[in-house]
Structure 1
Amino acid sequence: MTGRTRKIVFVLLAAALGACGARAPLAPPPGESLPPAPYGAPGPPDAEELLKLDALAAPERSVELRRRSEEREDDPFDLPPE
């Protein structure tokens, strides 16, 4: 296969995989139900609420930019190869 043929095959494969997305809202399988409502909740959560990540599962990034160069601390695990 030439480089151009590989690129074409890759693009077609990517397009085919991209078309595999969900086409309808999520719902439990037939004959199954969603989990019961948590204690104190007004009603059972729907599928979208069950897929939401809480703050501990997906924490926000804290990006601290360095204002000036700083010496690195000594890393005891930065060992040369044997």
Structure 2
Amino acid sequence: MRAVFFPMVALLALAGCGTQGELKPAPGHQLPPSPIGRKDRPSATELLSQSSQARPSRNVELHTRSEPRTDDAFDLPPSE
């Protein structure tokens, strides 16, 4: 019985992770109001997408050799 039960539970849990659908607010709740200057209310997908300011592009400049650090005026020893 256990040999069948645990794999079935694992398969059901795994299947639940892969479900996809349109995001909707919970019953009795609404999406936030539209921002000032915008006439339509943004959808859930628009609210979840990040702007380029929130997620800047990655700096792909690689260091080919080690370089000495420049002096940092704010790199102070801890106070006692």
Query: Which TM-score band applies after superposition, normalised by the shorter structure?
Result: 0.5 to 0.7
In 1, the alpha carbon distance for the partners of 2:51 and 2:57 equals 11
1:29: how far off?
Answer: 1.0
Greater CA drift, 65-74 or 19-28: 65-74
Task: State how many pairs are aligned.
Answer: 67
TM-score between the two structures when normalised by the length of structure 1: 0.55
* Structure 1: runs of 5+ lacking an equivalent: 1-12, 77-82
Q: Does 1:59 align with 2:49?
A: no
Aligned to 2:26: 29
Identity of aligned residues (%): 46
* Structure 2: runs of 5+ lacking an equivalent: 1-9, 76-80
Give every structure 1 segment of 4 or more consecutive aligned residues whose post-TM-superposition deviation is greater than 2 Å. Answer: 13-19, 54-57, 65-74
1:68: how far off?
Answer: 4.8
